Structure 1
């Protein structure tokens, strides 16, 4: 019996593939049988991760690019096609917060860093849209594929301080639904777009905001835990199942959706 959850024979690009969550994404894809393009700005990390996968019998290639540079992305696409000859999927994992996109409680709300907010929004929105424009064209030439965007709890609720990130992820949600419809209008069920919405996972960007050096929680971390019915942060590998499902043929009738992997954060009213 054919395993519809398998990614065997599929080639998937993961932007943000050099990050903590990106590492789980690429390993999950390889474990499901797929070949992976590890795209990020950190050449050393991308190459190290590709080498480990290749030495263990998988297929991977390092792709060095800034997701806000169309020239970088075009070069990365050509490198990938020269290696594998096709592309079946894209995970838009690049994004995140920036210090200049944060408004602290003691700062004047009417004098926020507008340019900083714009830069953070741009990274998350255009850092998702531009790779889709570039790699989506290759998926269309393959004839069938799946694109997975990364949303966030920040698009569902007003998470304090990180306005630029909130706006960027909310824009990604809008884009996810709009583009899924347009893909369906043009390609039927051949090319799908969905979103994965992680809850709170410890990464390099938020670790110091949520935890103390001794392993405890900061005040902000405690608030997150109180709002999460599972009463813990997520493990990056807990995103793999939903990601592989969205990339695989097992989700063939799913498009424009958002899958929350959040320990219940998005549904809990706090009481």
Structure 2
């Protein structure tokens, strides 16, 4: 049965691959024998993650890419295909939020600039769509492949303050289902599209929203999150990897169009 989880020799492309979450995914998949193309807007950081994988005995390359530029994505695709010859796994991990698109004590919803909202929505949603157009086409031509999108708990119930991010992640869920059906009906029954929806993990983006700069303890928002997470803590980046391995492997061969919560019970808890 364990052979179904074997990913050795597969080729994976991971956008946002130099970040905390997708960097961990990149390194872990590399340790399992996956050939990893680490894609990130910061090319130096992408190369650093790839170098870590190679130093540990794996096979990886770091590629600078802008997920909002089709030309940049196509250039990255050509580089990857030239080196590895094929593509088995795409993880659409690039995303994030922007302070200027956040409704809080400093910014009323009624004053949020449209450009800031568009930036957040485009990065999270349009960046995923464009990347899937470029790399998903390779899978369509191969007649097989595996796409995993990055959703969020914010897609189930919008988080207070983060309007653009919540809306974009809800769109990711819908796109995941749409894309799974489209590829199966038009190209191949052997292409699967799923998503993971992480709960709350400490990252560079949210750290000081959740951790008090002065005391190192929880902020009010951080405390509220833990109180609404039955396991009573934040997740760790490596705790996303098990679901990624499962979704990428033949063990999940009938899982398609699904959004998998990895949230310590947050989505299941009503608050009472």
With normalisation by structure 2, the TM-score equals 0.96
Cα distance in 1 for partners of 2:53, 2:107 equals 46
Match of 1:60 in 2: 60
Show the counterpart of 2:222.
221
Tell me, yes or no, if the aligned pair for 1:117 and 1:164 is still in contact at 8 Å: yes
Does the Cα contact within 8 Å between 2:27 and 2:52 map onto a contact in 1?
no
Cα distance in 2 for partners of 1:117, 1:224 equals 24
Give the CA deviation at 1:32. Answer: 2.5
SS of 1:62's equivalent in the other structure is strand
Tell me if the contact between 1:189 and 1:252 (Cα under 8 Å) persists in the aligned partners: no
Residue 23 of structure 1, CA deviation: 1.0
| Corresponding residue SS for 1:36 | strand
CA–CA separation in structure 2 for the residues paired with 1:211 and 1:227: 16
Deviation at 1:78, TM superposition (A): 0.5
Asked whether 1:246 is paired with 2:247, we answer yes
- Unaligned 5+ segments in structure 1 are none
Match of 1:108 in 2: 108
SS in 2 for 1:185: helix
1:164 alignment counterpart: 164
Q: Runs of at least 4 residues of structure 1 off by over 6 A?
A: none
How far 1:33 moved relative to its partner? 2.0
Q: Does the CA-based 8 Å contact 1:28-1:244 persist in structure 2?
A: no
- Check whether the contact 2:183–2:191 (CA below 8 A) recurs between aligned residues: yes
Q: Residue 137 in 1 paired to residue 156 in 2?
A: no
Please give the per-residue CA displacement for 1:87-113, whole angstroms capped at 9, x wherever unaligned.
Answer: 011000000101121111453333322
Structure 2 gaps, min length 5: none
Judge conservation of contact 1:189–1:253 (CA < 8 Å) in 2: no
Alignment of 1:69-80 (within 5 A): 69-80=69-80
Q: Distance in 2 between matches of 1:107 and 1:96?
A: 19
1:208 aligns with 2:211: no
**1:45 aligned counterpart, secondary structure:** helix
Distance in structure 1 (CA, Å) of the matches to 2:11 and 2:108 = 48
User: Structure 2 vs 1, CA of residues 144 and 221 (structure 1 numbering), >3 Å: closer, same or farther?
Assistant: same
SS in 1 for 2:3: coil
* 1:141 positional shift: 2.8
Q: CA deviation at 1:2?
A: 6.5
In the TM superposition, residue 158 of structure 1 has moved relative to its aligned partner by 2.3
| Shift in Å, 1:188 | 3.9
Matched residues, number: 271
Query: Mean alpha-carbon deviation: is it higher for 112-121 or for 85-94?
Result: 112-121
Deviations 1:124-146 (A, max 9, x none): 10111110000111222333110
**Maintained 8 Å contact 2:91/2:147:** yes
Note the 1:83-122 alignment, pairs <5 A: 83-105=83-105, 107-122=107-122
Kindly provide the CA deviation profile for residues 179-229 of structure 1, in whole angstroms up to 9, marking residues without a partner as x. Answer: 111111123431110000000000000001001234310011011001100
* Contact residue 31 and residue 57 of structure 2 kept, 8 A: no
User: Helix, strand or coil for the counterpart of 1:21?
Assistant: helix
CA positional deviation for 1:120 = 0.7
Determine the C-alpha separation between the residues in 1 that align with 2:70 and 2:123: 13
Contact 1:154 1:166 (C-alpha < 8 Å) held by counterparts: yes
Q: What CA RMSD, in Å, does the superposition of the two structures yield over aligned residues?
A: 1.3
Inter-CA distance 106–61: structure 2 relative to 1 (3 Å threshold): closer
